[in-house]
Structure 1
């Protein structure tokens, strides 16, 4: 059987459609504005002022180990609900059958997920623009100095790790949301994913301790590396292990590669379930419905 190539034009059309809808959405702009408001409030406190930061490489790594899981959680908290609402609107507006005729499930999924990354990049660009415009802001100075003192390989890992963790969250959310029969069920599609991300973020704090592993090869080290190959567990816990020097960079990048490999299989299953879910009119808990379809698929 010849695999059908993905239609990049359809993916681009879906991507632009989703981004255009969000650019006129109050929810999306509130996601952009509220961190700026919080930063402006902190700027009013003299005790929050700081001129420079001078940290060692190990302290910089430890700082990223604390920041990255929280950043992933905050991004997922904001954007998982956006993609869930988008899928729910397509499903409940009775356009799902028409969409499936015009654009296949794979193109819809890829377009929707890429649109989230596009929205996130735009949000970051807005913050960079604000920081450059008001260079005297404490947050601006702190971020610039933090980035300048961070080793390049760590910066590469931080970016890739965030992309991978957010990706699996979006895939699972679209899969569950495709089984929604009522827009009131959107929270049911978001809560399971956020529970996983939130739990991983909390557990990451326990991993943020020096000498978690003994030096060299050990049974617990092999066990943890195998377990952390499953997304998004590794993406949330590996940064803290790397921050404390418990794992090496080659282990961290190998973990990301294994997560992406596993996600490729998860995505193929999600495309089939997304297609079935969008065409189904059954009314039940979308989370349980997605699990039932997954079990039926395996049988």
Structure 2
């Protein structure tokens, strides 16, 4: 696996999306809506304490994470399904193996995510300065944990997407490739929102901590719950990182199993995932 080949494939993914109107609209439209909301409510926001404003941002995080997952699982699903129809794929297979192609596509998607998050962070800082809002400094330990969880959430969603996307035969069925990660993310974000809105309600309950740790092992679902559980429900960083490590192990196993399936998918075999067979038959 050549670094040059990886970066070439990643660059192709990034370049393609940066030229896409639909992708750019998904990046800039939330910024426009958010800035308009802040401008309209700036007097109220200026009366909030730093702690109140920070808590409000914590409660928005599940929705932001779900939005980013929806955007980038869609990006990768498009890339994987498009492979089946693109003549360029046959040429690439003669030069680059399937593993390099898949890792390159994931790398390109991750680069887009990092740039997306960085742009939103800079917009947030500019908004705080321009509108003179009081925002508490975020704990560095929590910020690192949050970013790792977000990256792992995306990675989990992408691998789930590839797992189903390699069985998709037509673009019209592409939504099926996103079905599993979307269900897991929506479930996780609903629970995370409940926990964010009820801080410390379950703190100190042993059964609840066991529930959080075990659910934290489930790729995509767990990474939605863990940051909010750490910030509002008293889950320790030790158990949070322990759950993330277990998820990484599970994802590595999934990734190794999905590679041969991806390669067979590029060679246009007519196999289908059992769930897709149940829905469409044949």
Equivalent in the alignment of 2:5: 10
- TM-superposed CA distance for 1:201, in Å, is 0.8
Equivalent in the alignment of 1:292: none
Q: Distance in 1 between matches of 2:124 and 2:235?
A: 34
Deviates more, 1:204-213 or 1:183-192: 204-213
TM-score by length of 2: 0.84
Q: How many residue pairs are counted as aligned between the two chains?
A: 276
Say what the alpha-carbon RMSD is for the aligned residues. 2.9
- TM-superposed CA distance for 1:189, in Å, is 1.2
Equivalent in the alignment of 2:86: 93
Q: Distance in 1 between matches of 2:188 and 2:139?
A: 25
- TM-superposed CA distance for 1:24, in Å, is 1.2
Contact 1:241–1:247, Cα closer than 8 Å, also in 2: yes
1:69 has 2:59 as partner: no
Equivalent in the alignment of 1:195: 183
In structure 2, the CA distance between the partners of 1:221 and 1:51, relative to structure 1 (3 Å rule), is: closer
Q: Distance in 1 between matches of 2:119 and 2:165?
A: 29
Alignment map for 1:51-130 (pairs within 5 Å): 51=46, 53-56=48-51, 63=56, 65-127=58-120
Match of 1:41 among 36, 48, 64: 36
Secondary structure of the residue aligned to 2:168 is coil
Secondary structure of the residue aligned to 1:240 is helix
Equivalent in the alignment of 2:25: 30
Contact 1:131–1:137, Cα closer than 8 Å, also in 2: no
In structure 2, the CA distance between the partners of 1:183 and 1:245, relative to structure 1 (3 Å rule), is: closer
Gaps of 5+ in 2: 278-282
Deviates more, 1:77-86 or 1:91-100: 91-100
- TM-superposed CA distance for 1:132, in Å, is 6.6
Q: Distance in 1 between matches of 2:22 and 2:181?
A: 20
Contact 1:201–1:236, Cα closer than 8 Å, also in 2: yes
Equivalent in the alignment of 2:214: 226
Q: Distance in 1 between matches of 2:147 and 2:23?
A: 22
Contact 1:65–1:242, Cα closer than 8 Å, also in 2: no
- TM-superposed CA distance for 1:154, in Å, is 0.8
TM-score by length of 1: 0.80
Contact 1:68–1:158, Cα closer than 8 Å, also in 2: no
Equivalent in the alignment of 1:20: 15
User: 1:48-91 CA distances to partner (integer Å, 9 max, x unpaired)?
Assistant: 653375344xx688556523322210101111111111222221
- TM-superposed CA distance for 1:224, in Å, is 4.0
Equivalent in the alignment of 1:268: 256
User: 1:13-53 CA distances to partner (integer Å, 9 max, x unpaired)?
Assistant: 11011111112111221112201220243244256653375
Q: Distance in 2 between matches of 1:166 and 1:38?
A: 24
